[in-house]
Amino acid sequence: MIGALMAIGDVISRRSMRVFVVLAVLNGVTQGLALATLVPLFVALLRGDHEAAWTWLVVLGCACIVNAVFVVTSTLRGFDVSMSVVRDMHRRLSEHMVKLPLSWFDSTSTARASTIVARGTMYVSQAAMDVLVPVVSAVATPVAVAIVSVFFDWPTGLALLASMPIILLVTRWGTNHNARAEAGVQDAALETDRRLLEFAEDQVTLRSAGVLGTDYLPLSRAIEARQRAGTKALWSSVIGMVPQSLVINLLFGLVVSVALLRALVGALDPIAMVAIVALSTQVSGPLRVLAELNTALRRAELQLTDVTDVLDQPEMASPERSAVLPVGNEVRLEDVVFGYDAEHRVLDGFTLTLPAGRTTALVGPSGSGKTTVTRLIARFWDVDSGRISIGGVDVRELSDEDRMARLALVFQDSYLFDESLKANVALGDDAAGDDELLDAATSAQVTPIAERLPDGWSSRVGEGGRLLSGGERQRVSIARALLKRAPVLLLDEATAALDPVTAQAVQTALMVLHTDVTVLVIAHQAETIARADQIAFLEHGRIQAVGTHTELVASNPRYAAFWNQRADAERWHITTNERGTR
């Protein structure tokens, strides 16, 4: 665990960890030496040698003071190490996770990441402070006592030293035995967390279906599985501690037998024999709790393994600096092949050019890969083969900063943070002035939202924007894009959640960008499609036709059928008879 913690930390943290380990060892050694001074003190007292007793009492006092100093310093250093462990893990995780492909963020990995950040890192840091020192001391103290015992009576001391590896091996076996059960507890806890998040996020769907509380079987089964795993881990801990206790008792009996035989044959003073036996009892005490401490340490190691597993996930390779910057705003997708898994291709030979300063509408049947195209341009995933470029530069050759500075995105699933309405709009450009922010908000029809909220622009919108309607969240997302004024704008059903009047106003605002910005719009509204400069029809993983609306209706039967379906759907309405019934 110490090595793993040092691998995560920076140079300063690693140096601090080394000092902490040295202090913990010295803490255990000085405690063992202090205990060892009890032997000559005990012998001097029983022999009536008061001068020697006073001398050893002073030595004992000095040893206790030195040990107290190391106890305090190792504890304080442990606190510093604990805080640096949390800081380093949070820093490394945050820096690494933003570079992972979106394919990593499924429901399981998201729940896992949430558990690691919220609970796992704290458990590891607490173990670094509260468990490492006792574990190191539980080993260092008995070893120091056993070594000193050799100088009091070498056969008894050697017997004590020889018992140490056996006890440590049995302890390690018990720890490994418990580890398998603890891993089961951790897996069960992860599944419970995932199901609990799912249960909390899908309350509208579940309540609509009449599913309440433990009626949601996946959650109740996960809770039951976690309880079973906890019970199994408890029994595993008991089973692991029994052999250790048995071995410690047998070996302690062996050490006592050696000391007793030495006294019987006259090779060891009986008084010294009693003192050495009393000292050896101080060896068994720390070793008895070592298995329990190792179990706690093993739990922390499992949490730490989860952290390192996340950190070992391959990042999307991206240069720190772009070797060449894009010239112009043209976006090209050339013979792109992509699938979310190896067996199913979403795009297969996809080729399309988005002319600079023009609007391209990407249309096609549901599930044809339209949203995937926007995410590939933003490089949320990497293509399996082919090339995507902005201004002549491959998106893989641009730094994250340079690439995202050229893109503004509005997706169907807009997410707002639990901050003020103003802060959520300002996310588009945090350096923008109030006038610029207000202009973007007005164009996206966000101003009416601020007017109705109790604290205006300072009103918090709740986690995920839950205090706003779906259409209002979408308007805030559009305002972000307008505020950013990036040269490439990707719109995925940007106005789908808006009422017709608001949608028309937002469309007008987006048209203002027309001459300056390259726009890719995915929409099902017939009017939005028809107003595009060019329309690309996507089907079976590739572009089937490109042209204006008039050209495609005349030349491509599949597009004409698609268009007629869209137009018929928008003309559909519910009629009302004279009595007002429907």
**What pLDDT was estimated at residue 335?**
95
Are 257 and 164 in a shared domain? yes
pLDDT tens profile 13-22: 677 778 888 8
Q: Give, to the nearest 10 degrees, the angle between helix 132-152 and helix 154-201.
A: 170
**What pLDDT was estimated at residue 488?**
92
Burial class (CB in 10 A: 0-12, 13-18, 19+), 217: exposed
**543 has pLDDT over 70:** yes
**What pLDDT was estimated at residue 581?**
40
CB atoms under 10 Å from CB of 205, counted, come to: 9
pLDDT tens profile 47-56: 888 888 899 8
Has residue 326 been placed in a domain? no
Has residue 567 been placed in a domain? no
**86 has pLDDT over 60:** yes
Q: Residue 88 is part of a domain; what is its CATH number?
A: 1.20.1560.10
Are 302 and 398 in a shared domain? no
Are 418 and 299 in a shared domain? no
Has residue 580 been placed in a domain? no
Domain with 501 in it: 331-368+379-521+534-541
Are 215 and 346 in a shared domain? no
**303 has pLDDT over 80:** no
Nearest-5° angle of CA 299, CA 301, CA 307? 115
Average pLDDT score over residue span 380-393: 92
Lowest average pLDDT, out of 340-344, 383-387, 391-395, 494-498, goes to 494-498
| Nearest one of 185, 178, 189 to 116, comparing CA atoms | 189
Residues 522, 374 contacting (CB under 8 angstroms)? yes
Q: Residue 336 is part of a domain; what is its CATH number?
A: 3.40.50.300
Are 176 and 81 in a shared domain? yes
**What pLDDT was estimated at residue 582?**
40
Are 339 and 244 in a shared domain? no
Q: Place 304 in a pLDDT band, splitting at 50, 70 and 90.
A: confident
Q: In sequence order, which ranges of 416-556 are alpha helices (DSSP H)?
A: 421-426, 434-443, 447-452, 470-484, 500-512, 526-530, 549-555
CA distance 299 to 186: 9
Residues 544, 535 contacting (CB under 8 angstroms)? no
Are 280 and 216 in a shared domain? yes
**35 has pLDDT over 90:** no
Reported pTM: 0.65
Has residue 320 been placed in a domain? no
Residues 140, 74 contacting (CB under 8 angstroms)? no
Has residue 325 been placed in a domain? no
Provide the 3-class DSSP secondary structure of residue 256.
helix
Are 363 and 498 in a shared domain? yes
Residues 332, 325 contacting (CB under 8 angstroms)? no
Are 26 and 162 in a shared domain? yes
**222 has pLDDT over 60:** yes
CA distance 539 to 142: 74
pLDDT tens profile 505-540: 666 666 665 567 899 988 777 777 777 889 999 988
**What pLDDT was estimated at residue 577?**
42
pLDDT tens profile 428-457: 887 888 888 998 888 888 898 999 989 999
Of 540 and 110, the structure prediction assigns the larger pLDDT to 540
pLDDT tens profile 175-195: 677 767 777 777 787 778 778
Integer CA distances (angstroms), 212 to 204, 208, 456, 469, 495, in order: 11, 10, 36, 24, 34
For the chain, the domain total comes to 2
CB atoms under 10 Å from CB of 438, counted, come to: 19
DSSP letter assigned to residue 444: T
**What whole-number percentage of the chain has pLDDT above 70?**
84
**237 has pLDDT over 60:** yes
Q: State the amino acid at position 400 in one-letter form.
A: D
CA distance 194 to 245: 39
3-class SS string, 304-356: HHHHHHHHCCCCCCCCCCCCCCCCCCCEEEEEEEECCECCECCEEEEEEEECC
Has residue 548 been placed in a domain? no
Q: How many residues are present in the chain?
A: 582
Are 242 and 301 in a shared domain? yes
Has residue 361 been placed in a domain? yes
Sequence-distant (≥ 6) Cβ neighbours of residue 292 within 8 angstroms: 237, 241
CA distance 277 to 160: 10
Are 104 and 151 in a shared domain? yes
Has residue 224 been placed in a domain? yes
Average pLDDT score over residue span 550-578: 69
**What pLDDT was estimated at residue 576?**
40
Are 162 and 27 in a shared domain? yes
pLDDT tens profile 59-83: 989 999 999 999 888 888 877 877 7
- Which token pair is 93? 């995780």
3-class SS string, 462-477: CHHHCCCCHHHHHHHH
Sequence-distant (≥ 6) Cβ neighbours of residue 245 within 8 angstroms: 288
DSSP state letters, 72-105: HHHHHHHHHHHHHHHHHHHHHHHHHHTTS-GGG-
- Which token pair is 65? 């003071």
pLDDT tens profile 393-419: 999 999 888 998 899 888 877 788 889
**What pLDDT was estimated at residue 148?**
86
CA distance 1 to 298: 9
Phi and psi of 487, rounded to 5°? -70, -15
Provide the 3-class DSSP secondary structure of residue 365.
coil
**What whole-number percentage of the chain has pLDDT above 90?**
14
CA distance 105 to 536: 30
